[in-house]
Amino acid sequence: MYKLDLPVDKKEFEAIEARRQRELQRQSRIFNAKVRTIGVDLQAIQEQERTRRMQEEMERRRHEAFAEDMIRNDKIAELLERRQQADIRRLNKALNEYRNMHQQPNTRKEFDLYDPDYLKKDKPARVSDDDPRCTLSSLQKFEGEDLNSPARKKLQQEQLREWAKQQAEEKRKAEERKKQADRLYDLKQMELDQRALQLQKAEEECRKAIKHAEANYNKALADEAARQRELDQRREEDDKLTEIANNVHGHFLTENPNMATSAFGPHRVIPDRWKGMTPEQMEEIRKQQRLQEEERKRREDEQKREEEEWARQAEAAARAGMILEREQNRKMRGQNRNFAEDNLKLALEQKAHQEFLDKQVYINPPTAAYFQQWNTITR
């Protein structure tokens, strides 16, 4: 009659499941005492704020340190770049000088390929009869021809003579250049030696002058020290004689008692001039000592009488205390007997009450299912 197998609404099922999951998450947060927080944790917020400020300060210092490092690195890189550019310019200059001196275009192996005077320097198609370029296909030399043999031989002889003259001239010039260089080197060495001798001589004269000046200065100091010692010795002897005369004729050795009297009153003396007390003062001190001795004996007798009186009072108090202690002990024993009887009665009553509770009141103890129904939801 009733259709019970109706399809479940998917949206409603998802909503119920989402609420169930949120409830489970809420239970895990609320029932866990370690992570549960009631109200606002002010101390934690302050600690977070302090930590955030410390992190910001550290980050600011870190950025400043990085900025300083970057500036320093930029300066170093700029300095290194300047040095590198200077080194490159110096190397390029040295390279260009070397090329200008030792790598001229006419010294290159392939200079004949792009020589502007190539056509002027080029040989004719046929130089002589033995020209190796005159092959069969050149059509420059034919069998039996020798047209320029005398001119060729004369030219060769002149060329040999010219080469010999050039070599002799080059050798002579090289020897002259070597002699000139040796002569200049010798003159330079002689000039350096003469300058060294002059400097050495000047240094010796300066050293002698310094030594002479030091000797004169030391002699003057020695004379001044000797005069000062003589003056000090004379002054010391005069002081000693004056001191002896003052001690002999002074009041210290004569022991004048009037010299010890102070200007602040007759009852005060000057310690460094005092020679001792007078007989009247000694008698007055002995009198005071006798009075003090009598006073000390009187105080000792009085203290002895007080101690005897205190001993009698302490003995009487001890007797009274013993009597009171015996009376307290007797009362305490009576109280302990009463307490024991009362405790016995209370124990019997408590035992009877516990039996009544166990047998008549607590007849239905709660099971574990009773306690499991609590703290199941967070609402």
Q: What is the pLDDT of residues 144-203, one digit of tens each?
A: 666 667 777 888 888 888 999 999 898 888 888 888 888 888 888 888 888 888 888 888
Say yes or no to pLDDT of 352 above 70. Answer: yes
Q: Which of 22-26, 172-176, 253-257 has the highest mean pLDDT?
A: 172-176
- Whole-number percent of the chain with pLDDT over 70: 84
Expressed in angstroms, the distance from the first to the final Cα of the chain is 40
Say yes or no to pLDDT of 370 above 80. Answer: no
Which of 42-51, 281-290, 368-377 is predicted least confidently?
A: 368-377
Over residues 115-153, the pLDDT tens digits come to 888 778 777 777 766 777 777 767 676 766 666 677 778
Band (pLDDT 50/70/90 cuts) for residue 5 is low
- Which pLDDT value is given to residue 262? 65
- Which candidate, 279, 257, 253, 254, places its Cα nearest to that of 266? 257
- Which pLDDT value is given to residue 71? 92
261 forms beta bridges with 269
Over residues 70-93, the pLDDT tens digits come to 999 999 999 999 999 999 999 999
Rounded to whole angstroms, the Cα distance separating 147 from 112 reads 29
- Which pLDDT value is given to residue 6? 56
Over residues 210-225, the pLDDT tens digits come to 888 888 888 888 888 8
Say yes or no to pLDDT of 311 above 80. Answer: yes
